[in-house]
Each structure stands twice: as C-alpha cells, then as structure tokens.
C-alpha cells in the first residue's frame, strides 16, 4: 500500500555517523516515505489536528505535534530488524474534523490490511476515534464475526464527554456508540485517570459504560503487580488491542508540552511497562500518541518522551518480542 497522495510529507534529516558504517544508522537514514508497506513494517502516520482540542476548550497547539515527534525520532539509533515507513500527515482543513478523521481511518485501515503496524502521531486526542474507526473498518472487511477489541487509554482524563459536537473529550463515548451500532461489545480501560481531573458525571458515565479504571495513584512501579494483572485480564478478553497514549498522563514537571497538564500523573517507566505487556500479548494492532503541544514544551522534553514510547513500541513489534 502506497502513502496517500493527499497526505502532507515530512522531510527527515539528522546526524549521520559515516565512520560507524551500517550499524551506525539512525531512523532518518532508514525511513522510506514513498514505498509500499507490508508485513513487518512500522508505519508512521501523522494527524496534525487540534480542532478537537479547540472544540473541547483546551490549549491550541497540538497540530504541531507530529513534526516535533518526528524531529525527536530522527536521531534515534536504528536496529537490524527495524523496517520504517512514513505515510506523511493527514491534514484537517479548517474545522472539518470529521472529514479528516474519515480520511485518516481509510488510510490506516489500508496499512493494517497490508500487514504492517501503524503508529500514529497526534494531534489532539480526537485521533483516538479515528484510530478506532480504522481498526473497525479493517476488521469489518477481514472477519464476519463481531470482533473483540480491547481499547487501552493511558490518560489522566476519561474522554467520554456527552457533548453533541465531537471533540478531543468525546472519542471513547463515540467508540461506544459505534460498537452499539455494530452490535459489538465495548471494552475500554483507562490507565492513569485522575480523581481530580474528571467530574462526578464522567465517573458515573464510566460505570454505565462498564469501563475499567486504574487511577493515577495506583499506576506506580511499587504497585505494578496489581495494575499489570488487571491489564492482562483485560487483554485476555480481547482478540485485538488498540493502545492510545495521551501525553498528559505524565506529570507536568516531566511532560510540560501537553494540551492539559497533569498535576500528578504517572512515571514514564510505568508507561513502558504497559507498552511491553500489551505488545507481548501478540494482540496489539495499532497505537497512537496524542496531545503533544510543542508550544508549551521545554527543551523538547515531552517530544523526546513521545519518541521514546514510539521507539519502545517499534522495538517490541519489530524484534519479535510481541509474539505470544
């Protein structure tokens, strides 16, 4: 599958260590931007959109996220098993969020069909509904039985607002509504939700949706046996897993460049534990990063963390650690 001709392209540049030879290559030296995708490829897709953040009353600026993440990825060291492709950016024109989400879903669905693993770069958390739509579209085409999809959200917020206008605060309720239309079971877990960043009505709605929640103060290294057990039990009930990482799940002191900073948050090491656990089930189908806002970043700290998480995902998938 070739990159969409409508997608904006990113120019990859970075350091080149000629004296180190082929083993000294970095991401910018091996990534292909005009190539067919297939099994074993890690495919990046950008969604430089913060129309959903604007609708949700957040801090505008996440549209610059994909470029900042790619810049942070460019100089990361490559490894022999890594096959990288970049399908560019799916652009949201003005306020046409729903059109951009549909275009993104079609593109990412085709990547899944090729056997590659998509890693999407946001943008606001409106990317989540687009990613779910991509997986649903792909599974609709690939199997007749109702698929069991597990949705894992690393986030300080539940993002299940009942607003009439879709935004970065509504994606998981939208997923529930889509599942209801299709007759699918809605399986959603939010890891890192803050008791002090979600209203009582949102927690009530989470109960109505049978959503699972692990709170931020439970997502600690010392408590890893507890939350990993809960995560494995959740994954066991699904055939396909979708992971979305909202960068505001991290403490603002560590990740200042986000749309809605978290006062408490969870540590990066905990995020990586979750990534490893999910990848090694062999069920992880796609992942995305959301809410990086470079306008408020300091020394690219948040962008570097986003790049690190993407690199961890790519490592787990490409080295075979994801095999059950």
Domains and CATH numbers, the chain: 18-318 (3.40.800.10)
Per DSSP, the residues of 185-250 read --EEEEEEE-TTSS-HHHHHHHHHTT-EEEEGGG-SGGGHHHHHHHHHHHHHT-SEEEEEEEGGGS
What element of type H or E holds 286?
strand 284-290
Predicted confidence (pLDDT) per residue in 103-151, tens digit: 999 999 999 999 999 999 999 999 999 999 999 999 998 877 899 999 9
The arithmetic mean of pLDDT across residues 282-292, rounded, is 98
Model confidence, pTM: 0.95
Question: Confidence class of residue 10 from pLDDT cuts 50, 70 and 90?
Answer: confident
Predicted confidence (pLDDT) per residue in 49-85, tens digit: 999 999 999 999 999 999 999 999 999 999 999 999 9
To the nearest 10°, report the CA torsion of 246, 119, 27, 90. Answer: -90
- 245: region left, alpha or beta (phi > 0 left; psi from -120 to 50 alpha): beta
């Amino acid at each position: 599958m070739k990159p969409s001709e409508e997608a904006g392209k990113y120019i990859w540049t970075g350091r080149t260590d000629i004296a180190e030879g082929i083993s000294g290559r970095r991401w910018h030296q091996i990534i292909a931007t005009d190539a067919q995708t297939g099994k074993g490829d890690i495919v990046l897709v950008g969604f430089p959109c913060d129309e959903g953040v604007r609708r949700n009353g957040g801090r505008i600026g996440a549209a610059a996220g994909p470029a900042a993440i790619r810049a942070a990825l460019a100089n990361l060291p490559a490894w022999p098993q890594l096959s990288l492709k970049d399908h560019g950016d799916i652009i949201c024109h003005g306020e046409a969020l729903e059109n951009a989400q549909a275009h993104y879903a079609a593109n990412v669905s085709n990547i899944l069909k090729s056997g590659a693993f998509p890693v999407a770069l946001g943008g606001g958390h409106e990317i989540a509904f687009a990613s779910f739509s991509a997986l649903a579209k792909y599974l609709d085409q690939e199997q007749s039985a109702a698929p069991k999809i597990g949705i894992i959200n690393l986030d300080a917020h539940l993002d299940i607002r009942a607003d009439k206008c879709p935004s970065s605060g509504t994606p998981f309720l939208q997923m529930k509504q889509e599942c209801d239309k299709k007759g699918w079971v809605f399986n959603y877990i939010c890891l890192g939700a803050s008791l002090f960043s979600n209203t009582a009505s949102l927690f009530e709605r989470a109960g109505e949706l049978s959503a699972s929640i692990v709170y931020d103060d439970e997502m600690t290294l010392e408590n890893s046996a507890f939350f990993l057990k809960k995560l494995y039990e959740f994954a066991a009930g699904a055939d396909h897993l979708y992971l979305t990482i909202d960068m505001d799940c991290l403490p603002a002191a560590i990740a200042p460049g986000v749309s809605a900073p978290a006062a408490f948050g969870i540590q990066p090491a905990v995020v990586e534990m979750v990534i490893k656990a999910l990848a090694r089930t062999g069920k992880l189908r796609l992942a995305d990063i959301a809410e990086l806002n470079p306008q408020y970043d300091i020394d690219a700290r948040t962008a570097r963390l986003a790049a690190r998480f993407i690199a961890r995902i790519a490592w787990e998938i490409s080295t075979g650690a994801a095999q059950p």
